Amino acid sequence: MLRKLSGRNALRQMRDYVVYLVTLILSVTLMYSFHLLVFSSEIKEVMKSWSMMPFIVVFISLIIVLILGRLVSYITEFIFRRRSREFGTYMMLGIENREIAAMFARESRMLGAAAWIAGLVGGTYFYQILKAMVMRLFLRPFHIRVGFSWEAFCLTGVYLFLIFGLSGRKLKKKIIRLSIRELLSMETENEKALVQKKKGKRVLFAMSVLALLLGCITFAVLLIGEVSDNAGGALSLFGLAMIVLSIFGLFMSVPAVLEQKLRKVKWKYKGRNLVLGRLFSGKICNLSLTFASVSILFLLVFLAVGLGLFFNKRVDSRVDETAFDFAVGTLYGQESLERFEEYIERELPQARTARYKVYTSGKTDFRQHFSVEDIGKFMSISHMDAMDNDCYMAMSVYEELRELLGMEKADLEEDKYYMHCSEFARDDLVRYAKSRDLTEMGEKKETLSFGGSFTGAFFQQEFFGNGSYYLLIVPDRVVEHMQVMEDLYVGVAKKELSMETYEGIASIERGEKTYITGKAEIRESGASIVMCLTFPLFYLAFILLAAAATIMTVQILSNLDQERRQFGILGECGMDRAEQIKLLRRYFAVYYTFPVLPAAVGSTAVYLAITASVDWDVYQGMTLVGFGEGMGILGMTAGAFFSIYLIYCFSAYLSFKKAVL
C-alpha cells in the first residue's frame, strides 16, 4: 500500500513542482552531455591540450553535485514541510516514522529516476550540439554520430546517487526524530531572523550598503591603480568579502526598512505601495536567508558567464589580429625561406603571398616611450629581444601588404614617415610622434616629419612580425642603409587554412632562428582555451542560475491558497481585474529583480577588476584591449542571464495568474 501511495505522491510532486523537475532534467542533460564530451574519442583527436579538460569538467561537476545536492535538499525539505500535516495524519493512523521516511525517500528517488532517464535522452542529443560547437571552433567537419559511453553513463549515475542519497539521508534522520505535534505545526514555521531588533536591522542595512560600496571601491582601485601582486590579492579577498557580507546583511535588514516605509502615511497610500509592500514584506520576512543565498548564486552566475564570454571573444579577435593565414620569419635574415616558398607554390598555388623585410636603425626612442609611458592596464608586451629596437618598413612593401590584406590604399608622401599601430596604443604613440621628427635618415641624413597613423590587423601582436604593436613606415630609400631585423614570407588563402594544411607547412625543416605561425595555430590554441575555460564556466553558470531561479519560483508558488484569498479580498474591496493584473506584474518584477540587483553591482566590480588584471603574454593568448570591450561583454552577460531567468519568471507568472485570478 505504501509503495502505491509513494508512486501516487511522486506523480503529484511532478505535477505540482514541474519547475523543479524541469531543472533536474536540464541539469542531468548538461551533466551527461559534458561527460560524453570528456570521454569522446572524436574530441580527443582534435584537441591537443586535452589533458586538463577531463579534470576541469570533473571538478566543475563535483561543484555542481554540491549545488544540486543543496537544491534537492532544500526543495525536498520544503515539500516535506508543505506536506507535514499529511505525514502527521499518517503517524496518527499508526504508521511509524521510519516507514514515513522510507516512503518520502522513495518518492524522491522516483523523481530522481525520472530526471535521470529524461536527462540521458536529452544529454545524448545536446552532446551533438556541443560537439558541433567544438568542431566549429577547431574548423573541423562535423558528423552526427549518436553514441553511448558507459563511462559517462556510470559517472552521471554516481553523481545523481550522491545528490539524492546525501540529501535523503539527512532528511530521513530528521523525520525519524519528529513527533506528531512537530509535524502538525511545521507548516506554519518561518525562517528565524538572525537579527531580532528592528533598530539593529536598520543599522545593519546602513552598514550593508556601506560594505557594498566599499567592496566596489576596492575593486575600482584594483582596476585603475597600480597595486603589487601581494597587495592586490589581499585587496581582492577583502573586496569580495565585503560584497558577500553586504548581500547577506541587505536581505536580513530589508524587512525592517520596508516596515518603516509602510508606517509613513504619505508613502504607504501612494499608488499601489500599501498592497505591494504588504505582499512583498510577507514574502521577504520569511525568506531573507533564502534570498541572500539566491543573490550569491546570481553573483557567481554573472562572473561565470562574463568570464566565459571574455575568453570566448578573445579567440576570434586573436585570429583577426594575426592577419595572415601563414607567416614565416627568420631573425636578421640568417636562414633561407626558399623551402617554404616552394612548398606553398606547389601545395597552395592560389594563395596570395609576399616576401619582404623589416628593418631597424638601432634606435629605441619609440620603444622606450612605449615601455615606460602609462598606457593602461590592458597592455602586455612579449616579443623577441630584437623587437626592443624600433622597427621600420619600406613604403612600397607597406602598400603591397595593405593590398594583400584588402585594406584601403594609403596616400603616403615621400618626405614624411607614418606609423601603423594597435588601436589601444594609437593615441599615446601618435602624440609622441607629432612631437618629434626622424632625423639623419638614409644616406642623405634627411629629416622626416610625422605624416599620420594607421590601425588594423597587421601582424603586430605575435612573437615575431611587423613590429611590437607599432611599425614606422618610411620611404624605400631610407631602409636601404638599415640593418635587416626580419626576413618574412606571408600569405593569404582564399579561405582560412585547416590545421592539417598548416601542420604541413610547419613540418618543413627549419633552423632555430626561423619561426612560423598562422591563423590556424592561433585558432587551435585559442579554441583549446575556450574548451577548457569557457565551456565549463557556461556549464556551471547555467546550473547555478537554474538552481537559484527554481528556488525563487517554488517559493512564490508555495502559498497559492493564501494569495488567492488576498486577491479575492482586493476584488471585494473594488479592485477590478485589470488593476489586479498590474499589481501582480509589479509584484513579480520586484520579487524577481530584488536578489539580482546587489549581485549585478558586485559582480560588475569584480569582473572588471579581474579582466583588467588579465595581463598575459599575448602570444599565449589573452589581452583585454579596452574598457568598452569589457562593458560590451557585460552587456552580453546580462542578455544571456535574463534570456534564461525570464523564462522561469514568465512561467511562474502564468501559473500564479491562472491559480490566483
Percent of the chain at pLDDT > 90 equals 9
- How big is the chain, counted in residues? 661
Do 130 and 34 meet the contact criterion of CB atoms below 8 Å apart? yes
Among the residue ranges 255-264, 457-466, 507-516, 563-572, the one predicted with the least confidence is: 255-264
Do 540 and 63 meet the contact criterion of CB atoms below 8 Å apart? yes
- For residue 318 the three cell numbers come to 586573436
Among the residue ranges 99-113, 124-138, 181-195, 451-465, the one predicted with the least confidence is: 181-195
Does the pLDDT at position 89 exceed 90?
Answer: no
Among the residue ranges 17-21, 29-33, 480-484, the one predicted with the least confidence is: 17-21
Does the pLDDT at position 624 exceed 50?
Answer: no
**Predicted confidence band of residue 327 (pLDDT cuts 50, 70, 90):** very high
Q: What is the CA radius of gyration of the chain?
A: 32
- For residue 346 the three cell numbers come to 606547389
Listed residue (425, 412, 417) closest to 367, CA to CA: 425
Distance from first CA to last CA of the chain, Å, rounded?
38
The predicted structure's pLDDT at residue 184: 65
Average pLDDT over residues 514-539: 81
The predicted structure's pLDDT at residue 604: 80
The predicted structure's pLDDT at residue 185: 66
Greatest CA separation for the chain = 110
Q: Indicate the helix (H) or strand (E) that contains 329.
A: strand 326-331
Q: Would you give the DSSP letter of residue 272?
A: T
The predicted structure's pLDDT at residue 199: 65
Does the pLDDT at position 491 exceed 90?
Answer: yes
Does the pLDDT at position 271 exceed 70?
Answer: no
Does the pLDDT at position 399 exceed 90?
Answer: yes
**Each residue's pLDDT tens digit, 281-299:** 666 666 777 888 888 888 8
What burial class does residue 598 get, using C-beta atoms within 10 Å of its C-beta: 0-12 exposed, 13-18 middle, 19+ buried? buried
Q: What is the mean pLDDT of the chain?
A: 78
**Predicted confidence band of residue 375 (pLDDT cuts 50, 70, 90):** very low
Among the residue ranges 266-280, 350-364, 377-391, 433-447, the one predicted with the least confidence is: 377-391
The predicted structure's pLDDT at residue 381: 41
Q: Would you give the DSSP letter of residue 192?
A: P
Does the pLDDT at position 397 exceed 90?
Answer: yes
3-state secondary structure of 128: helix
Average pLDDT over residues 541-565: 83
Structure-model confidence comparison of residues 396 and 57, the more confident one: 396
Does the pLDDT at position 659 exceed 90?
Answer: no
